[in-house]
C-alpha cells in the first residue's frame, strides 16, 4: 500500500530560523512528488513539485530515492509561511491518477 | 480564469439520507478528483474522473459514488449517510494526469 508519513504534526520556529518539514513515502513505482500548502482560510494549493526543481517562496524540496524522502526546506522562515503543509506523492502510472496526502504539518513561524 | 467551484458550501443532513455534491472544474480541465478531509484521517482520496470515466477509486464503501458529465462537471453522491461521513469534501481539477491539481473551497457536510 502507498504510504506517506509526515512525522511532525506541529512545528514551531522563530522568524529567520531555518525550517525543514519531513516527508517519507513508501510507494511502488516512481511517483511524482508534490508539496501542497493551505494558508488560513484559503484553499489548498500547490507549493512545489519535484519534477520542476523550482524554488517557490524560498522553499525547496530534495528527493532522496534511497531514503524515500522528500523533505521541504527553507533557510529563513517568515511569518507568512505559517500554514498547513502536505506532502503528496501521486500515482503516475498508466491511466491512474491520485494524490496520497500525508497527515500534514502545521508550521507556525513566531515573530 | 475562474477557479474550481463547489456547491453547496455547507450542508446539514440527517442519518440515512443521501446527498449530492457538485464540482465545476477549471475550464479546459478534464480530470476531476474528490477527497474527503477529516481531523482524524486527514485528506483521503475518493475517486478520479477523466472524460466521464472513473479511472481510480479509493477505499471507500459503495455508498460513495460519483459521475462526470460531458462538460467535465462532476457530482459525488453519498447514500445512507452515517455520522462518520461528516467531513469537508474537496474537489480538484487538473489538465492532465500528474499536473497540478487545483482545489475548490470544499463542501462542509454535517450529518446529524
pLDDT in tens, B74-108: 999 999 999 999 999 999 998 876 678 899 999 99
CA atoms of B21 and B54, how far apart (whole Å): 17
Contacting residues for B92 by C-beta, under 8 A, at least 6 apart: A44, A99, B4, B32, B33, B34, B35, B101, B102, B103, B104
Preferred mutation among A98, A103, A104 to probe B, highest tally of B CBs within 10 A: A98
Percent of chain B with pLDDT over 90: 82
Q: Tell me the nearest-neighbour CA distance from A64 into chain B, angstroms.
A: 20
Q: In the block, which residue shows the cell 457530482? A: B75
pLDDT at B98: 64
Which residues of chain A carry a pLDDT beneath 70? 1, 92-97
Q: From the CB of residue B31, how many other CB atoms can be counted at a distance below 10 Å?
A: 23
Verify whether the Cβ–Cβ distance A97 to B43 is below 8 Å.
no
Residue B6 β-bridge partners: B23
- Here the cell at position B12 is 446539514
* Contact pairs from chain A to chain B, CB under 8 Å: 58
Q: Tell me the nearest-neighbour CA distance from B13 into chain A, angstroms.
A: 24
B57, closest residue in chain A (CA to CA) = A98
pLDDT at B81: 98
Verify whether the Cβ–Cβ distance B58 to A44 is below 8 Å.
no
pLDDT at A27: 80
B8 three-class SS: coil
The string of pLDDT tens digits covering residues A29-54 is: 777 888 999 999 999 999 998 877 77
Nearest residue, CB atoms, B55 vs list A90, A95, A102: A95
What's the rounded mean pLDDT across residues B3-15?
Answer: 97
Q: Tell me the nearest-neighbour CA distance from B17 into chain A, angstroms.
A: 28
Nearest by Cα to A12 from A64, A70, A66, A77? A77
pLDDT at A94: 44
The string of pLDDT tens digits covering residues B29-83 is: 999 999 999 998 999 999 999 989 998 899 999 999 999 999 999 999 999 999 9
Amino acid at each position: 500500500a502507498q504510504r506517506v508519513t509526515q512525522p511532525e504534526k506541529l512545528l514551531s520556529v522563530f522568524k529567520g530560523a531555518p525550517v525543514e518539514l519531513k516527508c517519507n513515502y513508501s510507494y511502488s513505482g516512481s511517483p511524482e512528488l508534490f508539496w501542497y500548502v493551505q494558508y488560513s482560510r484559503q484553499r489548498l494549493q500547490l507549493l512545489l513539485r519535484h519534477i520542476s526543481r523550482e524554488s517557490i517562496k524560498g522553499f525547496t524540496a530534495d528527493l532522496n530515492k534511497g531514503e524515500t524522502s522528500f523533505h521541504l526546506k527553507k533557510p529563513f522562515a517568515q511569518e507568512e509561511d505559517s500554514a498547513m503543509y502536505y506532502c503528496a506523492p501521486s500515482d503516475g502510472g498508466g491511466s491512474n491518477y491520485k494524490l496520497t496526502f500525508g497527515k500534514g504539518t502545521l508550521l507556525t513561524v513566531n515573530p | 480564469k475562474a477557479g474550481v467551484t463547489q456547491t453547496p458550501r455547507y450542508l446539514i443532513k440527517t442519518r440515512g439520507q443521501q446527498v449530492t455534491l457538485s464540482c465545476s472544474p477549471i475550464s479546459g480541465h478534464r480530470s476531476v478528483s474528490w477527497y474527503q478531509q477529516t481531523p482524524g484521517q486527514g485528506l483521503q482520496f475518493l475517486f478520479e474522473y477523466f472524460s466521464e470515466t472513473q479511472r481510480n477509486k479509493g477505499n471507500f464503501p459503495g455508498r460513495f459514488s460519483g459521475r462526470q458529465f460531458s462538460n467535465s462537471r462532476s457530482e459525488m453522491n453519498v447514500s445512507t449517510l452515517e455520522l462518520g461521513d461528516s467531513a469537508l469534501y474537496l474537489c480538484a481539477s487538473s489538465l492532465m494526469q500528474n499536473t497540478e491539481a487545483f482545489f475548490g473551497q470544499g463542501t462542509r457536510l454535517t450529518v446529524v
